[in-house]
């Protein structure tokens, strides 16, 4: 059974899903790679209400990490990259090459970038903490302005100039 819940955030409406045991998706509504939610039940499952509370605490700067069971759906490679994303500390960033190196294959930068872009549990699995080799904000399913917001919230922007369209 898949449960769906919607919540407002400073970055717009988020859709949360769970399978009753773990969060399976946190997505901005206009993201490119939304999961199939056919047959899902739209009701306030306790796990989704806890996820909503923790997200509000994160956006309010009261929380730096999430304490929820997560179950992202993807290939074994994608799940490993997503696991590595979870190891990037709050307020810090890595380049795609550094993430590929942590995976054990510095040449897998493109594959790492693609896996990063398919992360189904945005914000909680911090794909926004991965940046370009020159420090530029590159690629984010929710839009670069959201990536900038999240990195600024976490204090990771430093003296970097703001992103402009």
Tokens of 162: 């703001």
Q: Above 60 in pLDDT, residue 131? A: yes
Report pLDDT for 165: 45
**Residue positions annotated with a catalytic role:** 127
CATH 1.10.10.10 for the 76-153 domain, yes or no: yes
Once rounded to an integer, what is the mean pLDDT over residues 69-76?
A: 96
Domain positions in the chain: 3-59, 76-153
Q: How far, in Å, CA of 156 to CA of 19, rounded?
A: 33
Residue 141 buriedness (CB in 10 A; 0-12 / 13-18 / 19+): buried
Could you give the C-alpha distances from 134 to 91, 94, 118, 157, in angstroms and in order? Answer: 18, 11, 22, 13
Decide if 145 contacts 111 (C-beta within 8 A). no
Binned at pLDDT 50, 70 and 90, residue 159 comes out as low
């Amino acid at each position: 059974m898949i449960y769906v819940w919607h919540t407002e955030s400073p970055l717009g409406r988020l859709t949360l899903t769970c399978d009753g045991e773990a969060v399976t998706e946190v997505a901005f509504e206009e993201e490119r790679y939304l999961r199939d939610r056919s047959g899902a039940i739209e009701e306030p499952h306790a796990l989704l209400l806890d996820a909503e509370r923790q997200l509000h605490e994160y956006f309010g700067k009261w929380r730096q990490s999430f304490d929820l069971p997560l179950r992202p759906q993807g290939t074994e490679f994608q799940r490993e990259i997503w696991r590595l994303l979870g190891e990037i500390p709050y307020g810090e960033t890595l380049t795609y090459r550094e993430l590929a190196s942590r995976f054990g294959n510095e040449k897998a930068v493109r594959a790492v970038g693609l896996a990063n872009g398919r992360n189904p549990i945005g914000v909680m699995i911090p794909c926004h903490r991965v940046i370009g080799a020159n420090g530029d904000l590159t690629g984010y399913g929710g839009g670069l302005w959201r990536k900038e917001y999240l990195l600024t919230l976490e204090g990771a922007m430093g003296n970097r100039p703001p992103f402009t369209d």
